[in-house]
Amino acid sequence: MEYKIICNDEYETIELAQNFESEKFENMIICLDGELGSGKTVFTKGIANALGIEENITSPTFTIIKEYDSGEMPLYHMDVYRLDGNTEGVGIEEYYNKGGIVIIEWAKTIKDILPEERLEIKIKVIDENRRMLIITPHGQKYEELCGVVL
């Protein structure tokens, strides 16, 4: 099943992310895709804020992975754009079972190593402020998550 949600501004994107965070579970995997400036990092900021992380959340384009341990659950924020599909030696898969929330920006570039069960969110730009989020759950717990949040 696929869900389509329109967010009219950044605040609605953050609110949606916070709603997902409210139903969080260990080893939650959220895969984000969308063009530059579509709101992938904005969504991540919403999750981080709801977790109580006070650090400034920026896209980890050059570091690939940023770890935030100051919230009620660890957040592992990844930007795999620069990897161009070559994940050798990066250790991304190790994060899938570290007990936190994993958010992967540009996830489609590493689709071969994504876990079977995950939440995919594709963000499409409608105009300067509005975004369409196409949300696809993979696996029972993610279907249940969407049933509760959406």
pLDDT digits (tens, 9 = 90+) for 1-45: 999 999 999 999 999 999 999 999 999 999 999 999 999 999 999
DSSP assignments along 8-19, one per residue: SSHHHHHHHHHH
Tell me the CATH number at 62: 3.40.50.300
Q: What are the tens digits of pLDDT across the range 61-102?
A: 778 999 999 999 999 999 999 887 778 878 999 999 999 999
Nearest 10 degrees: Cα torsion 20, 93, 85, 32: 0
Contacts of 129 (CB under 8 A, 6+ apart): 8, 9, 10
Please provide the distance, in angstroms rounded to a whole number, between the alpha carbons at the two ends of the chain.
Answer: 12
Find the helix or strand (DSSP H, E) in which 137 lies.
Answer: strand 131-138
- Structural domain including 47 reads 3-149
Number of domains present in the structure of the chain? 1
Supply the pTM of this predicted model: 0.95
